[in-house]
Amino acid sequence: MENLKWKKLGIIFNPKKHETPEWMSEFAQAPHVLPFDNFFRVYFSCRPKPDANGQYVSYSAYVDLDANLNILAISPQPILALGQLGTFDEFGTYPVSVIKEGEEYRAYYAGWTRCDSVPFNTAIGFAKSSHPDAFERIGNGPLISYSQDEPFVISGPKIRRFNGQYYLFYIAGCKWVLDNGKPEPIYKIRLATSIDGIHFEKVNKNLIADKLSEDEAQASPDVIFKNGKYHMFFCYRGGKNYRGKENGYRIGYAHSTDLINWERNDDYVGIDVSSEGWDSEMISYPHVFEMAGKTYMFYLGNQVGKEGFGGAVLENELL
C-alpha cells in the first residue's frame, strides 16, 4: 500500500500575527475542528505571557475559517473559565475536544493543576453549552481522574462517536523520569467508552505499542473512520531531552477495525519535519479531518505550537 502523501500548507494561524487579547498572546495548540454549514471552527489552546515566575496558564479558544483557510473570526474570550481554587483545572484548560450532541455542544478538556514534586498534574474535565462559543462546567471536579493503573497526567482527550457509542481517546501518565534532575512525564494512549458521554468505562490498556523505548511518550490520539477502518494519527517523543529536534515529537500512525486493537505503522504516515522553517524540529498534535472533499491534517511545529498551528492536505487516499 502506498504511503500517505501530504502537501504542506505552512502556518494556518499564529496568534502573534493578529490583534489578539492578552490571554491569547501566543501558542495555538492542539487544533480540533468542528464543521458548520458556512465555515469551520478550529478549537485550540493558547496562553497569556508567563507570570513573574515564568509559569503559564492556558485557555482554550477558537478561530473560524472558510474553505480556503481564510480567517473569518477569532474568539473574543476563552470558551471556558479557569477552575476554582484548589480544583483540577485551576491553572489551565488544554487541550479541548468538542462534539455536538443534538442541540448541545460538549467539551472534553484537560485541566491543569500545579504540584510540588513534579510541575503539574492533569485530569479530564467536561463542560457543555447550547452554543459553541462558551461552555459551562457541570461540576467543579474532573470527569476522568486518576485511577489504579492511571496514576496521574490524564490528558489529551479526543471525543468521537462511532456505532452509537462514545469513544474518548486520551493519554495517561505511567511514570515521571528525571532528566538532569527535572521530572518529565511519560504517558501512553488510552481509551474509555460511554453510552451517554458522561459515565465512562476505562479500557485500561495501552492502545499503541512503543517504538522508541518503554519511556516513549505518546499524545494526541486522533481517530478518523475512512474506507472501512479506523485510522489513528498521534504524536510521540523520547522520554528525555525532547524539546529539540533529536528526541522531539514526530507523528505516528496506527489502524484498527475494532477501536481496541491497533496496528502501528508509522511508515505509512508520510509526514515528517521539514528541512527548515516553522516545523523543522518537531511535528505534533495532529488532527485529521475532511472538508469539501479533501483530507487535511492540522498539526503543531517547533516549540509545540508556540508559533501557532499549520496544515497539510492529503494528495492520495487514506486507505
Which of 101, 104, 136, 149 contacts other proteins by CB under 8 A?
149
- Residue 264: count of CB within 10 angstroms of its CB: 19
Q: Is 163 in the site for other proteins (CB under 8 A)?
A: no
Rounded-to-integer distance, Cα 60 and Cα 83, Å = 13
- Which of 239, 255, 199 has its CA nearest to residue 4? 255
Q: Is 114 in the site for other proteins (CB under 8 A)?
A: yes
Provide Rg for the chain, Cα atoms: 18
Taking the complex as a whole, how short is the minimal distance between the CB of residue 32 and other proteins, in angstroms? 22
Phi, psi of 22 (to 5 degrees): -55, -40
Nearer to other proteins by Cβ, of 117 and 227: the residue is: 117
Side-chain-side CA neighbours of residue 92 (13 Å): 25
Q: Is 139 in the site for other proteins (CB under 8 A)?
A: yes
Q: Is 123 in the site for other proteins (CB under 8 A)?
A: yes
Nearer to other proteins by Cβ, of 174 and 259: the residue is: 174
For the chain, the first-to-last Cα distance in angstroms comes to 8
Taking the complex as a whole, how short is the minimal distance between the CB of residue 293 and other proteins, in angstroms? 40
Rounded-to-integer distance, Cα 162 and Cα 19, Å = 39
* Choices 133-141, 236-244, 260-268, 292-300 (CB under 8 A): range interacting with other proteins: 133-141
Q: Is 221 in the site for other proteins (CB under 8 A)?
A: no
Contact set for other proteins, span 166-195 (CB under 8 A) = 173, 175-176, 178, 183, 185
Phi, psi of 17 (to 5 degrees): -90, 5
List residues near other proteins by CB under 8 A: 84-88, 90-91, 113-118, 121, 123, 126, 138-143, 145-153, 173, 175-176, 178, 183, 185
